């Protein structure tokens, strides 16, 4: 019998996916399965926490000095 | 600051989430193809990979029933 694992399919661009993988690498408590370059399955109860962490990382990736350097 | 917030929202919109079930570890590729095909037929298939033999479905009840019927028929 195959296994059926409850979770949330996240479809995003490869850049976002790599950030998710990076966030998960600390404790491995978000990702259930990496499917491909643009898809991961994550634990249902971790979606909100992951989104919050993602916002944090994205904020870090857009520092003020980048836009002001022109 | 406004531009930054807009940028983050854009990033979030690039992320789509679907609640459901990941099906994996089928006995063989034939079983995988049959079950993935069934999931597609009843309209619960969200994503499939014939290469890795896994698929994601939005519901699992009908698939579970179908698996049981298949097992009995063997």
CATH number of the domain encompassing residue A29 = 3.30.70.1220
Separation CA A42–CA A7 (nearest Å) = 6
Residue A2 lies in a domain: no
Alpha helices in chain A (DSSP H): 14-24, 47-60, 64-68
Residue A11 lies in a domain: yes
What is the radius of gyration, based on Cα positions, of chain B? 18
- For B7-50, the pLDDT digits (tens) are 656 556 678 999 999 999 999 999 999 999 999 999 999 999 99
pLDDT of residue A56: 87
**Sequence-ordered list of residues with C-beta below 8 angstroms from that of B61, at least 6 positions apart, any chain:** none
Q: State whether ipTM is beyond 0.90.
A: no
pTM assigned to the model: 0.84
Residue A58 lies in a domain: yes
Say whether residue B33 is in contact with chain A using an 8 A CB cutoff. Answer: no
Say whether residue B66 is in contact with chain A using an 8 A CB cutoff. Answer: no
Question: Is the CB of A41 less than 8 angstroms away from the CB of B22?
Answer: yes
Residue A20 lies in a domain: yes
DSSP letter (8 states) at residue B14: T
Residue A70 lies in a domain: no
Separation CA A30–CA A20 (nearest Å) = 9
Residue A40 lies in a domain: yes
Say whether residue A49 is in contact with chain B using an 8 A CB cutoff. Answer: no
Number of structural domains found in chain A: 1
Domain limits at A56? 7-64
- For A11-69, the pLDDT digits (tens) are 999 999 999 999 999 999 999 999 999 999 999 999 999 998 988 888 887 665 444 44
Separation CA B31–CA A1 (nearest Å) = 9
Question: Is the CB of A16 less than 8 angstroms away from the CB of B63?
Answer: no
Residue A29 lies in a domain: yes
pLDDT of residue B8: 58
Residue A57 lies in a domain: yes
């Amino acid at each position: 019998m195959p296994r059926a694992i409850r979770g949330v399919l996240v479809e995003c661009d490869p850049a976002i996916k790599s950030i998710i993988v990076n966030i998960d690498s600390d404790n491995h408590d978000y990702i259930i399965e990496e499917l491909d370059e643009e898809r991961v399955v994550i634990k249902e109860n971790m979606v909100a926490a992951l989104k919050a962490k993602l916002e944090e990382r994205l904020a870090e990736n857009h520092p003020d000095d980048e836009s002001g350097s022109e | 600051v406004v531009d930054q917030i807009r940028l983050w929202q854009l990033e979030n919109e690039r992320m789509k989430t679907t609640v459901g079930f990941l099906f994996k570890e089928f006995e063989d590729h034939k079983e995988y193809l049959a079950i993935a095909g069934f999931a597609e037929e009843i309209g619960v298939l969200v994503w499939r990979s014939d290469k890795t033999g896994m698929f994601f479905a939005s519901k699992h009840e009908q698939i579970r029933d179908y698996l049981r019927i298949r097992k009995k028929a063997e």
